[in-house]
Amino acid sequence: MRKGVQSSPANGYKIIAVDDEVGIIDSLSIFLKRSGYDFVGITDPLEAVERVKNEHFDLMILDFIMTPVHGDKVVEEIRKFNQELYILLLTGHKDLAPPLETIRRLDIQGYCEKSDKFDQLLLLIESGIKSIAQMNLIKKINQELSDTYEKLEQAYMESIQTLRYTVEAKDPYTRGHSDRVSEYSVLLGQKLGLSQEDLKTLRIGGLFHDIGKIGVPDSILLKESKLTDDEYSQIKNHPTIGAHILSSATIFQDIIPIVKHHHEKYDGNGYPSKLKGDEIPYFARIAAVADTFDAMTSKRTYRDALSIDVVKEEIEKCSGTQFDPAIAQAFLEILENDYDKILEIQNRY
């Protein structure tokens, strides 16, 4: 027994052996326990399936020809709920081994002939334990990386949220606006049949779509009278500023197109890039409808909120010019058939 291997079983590796011959189980028990492994031997293959279902094992030694079911059937059942168990198949003779395609299909890691000596089996077990140790190490590293990434992501989110709240604090209109745009975008995305991952992107993109207003002077942002051309030009910089703020964080790459292009128009007359039609990122086209809807239904210093009938007419009129026609139509259907959901969002913010 190699010195290095002897320490491995002490680390808690657990082996289950399944063979309907009691003599084989007894011999394996003596041999493997002497080697330091945590060992369980079972003669009933159906009982073994239940043990594996309810108990953790790292490696299984499995006889092929058994009653009432053969080893391949045992593996088929186990693979329905456990894809990770390392399985070594024992055969009384090479000719009795299952076909190679069966071994591959069931993800059986190895097999060997039964023998009075366990040298070959021990080598396969040692090799299996090394593989299991590597898989466990990789899982541990991946989990640690995942935890670290989640903490970093949370830190970035909190930082950008702080910026968003700073914008909202100095611009009364923005307060609640980003939350509503986020919710409307998700509602529209659901109507369009988008995936949960896409809906998450829309939600975050809506929350941060106006983050670039942090770079717009208060004198312009809070001005109650009509903006001059120069002041309006500065307002139009906020999508580019927002995209720049988010560009250094990998986790925000998916929402940058929303932030940068939610003021583009379908006919190419929007800003900042004058993109046209399908050139405009799809999520930005969705956010554009949500953003404009909230602007029309929000009270401003210079006008009251528009009635829902006027809003519908405006969205219809701007379909194909300001808005993607398919997205505009989907939102009109929401306003027609699910307006209660719109009201719920408005009441929340």
Pick the closest to residue 211 from 254, 166, 180 (CA basis).
Answer: 166
Measure CA of the first residue to CA of the last residue in the chain; give whole Å.
70
- Which pair of structure tokens corresponds to residue 76? 């088929």
Residue the block writes with tokens 């030009």? 233
- 8 A C-beta contact, residue 261 and residue 280: yes
Active site residue ranges: 213
Give the C-alpha separation, 89 to 64, whole Å. 6
Answer positive or negative: Cα dihedral of 53, 56, 58, 60. negative
What one-character-per-residue DSSP string does 227-255 give? PPHHHHHHHTTHHHHHHHHHTT-GGGTTT
Please name every residue paired with 63 in a beta bridge, in sequence order, or none if there are none.
90
Give the C-alpha separation, 4 to 23, whole Å. 29
**Residue 126 exposure: Cα atoms within 13 Å on the Cβ side:** 14
- Which pair of structure tokens corresponds to residue 118? 């366990």
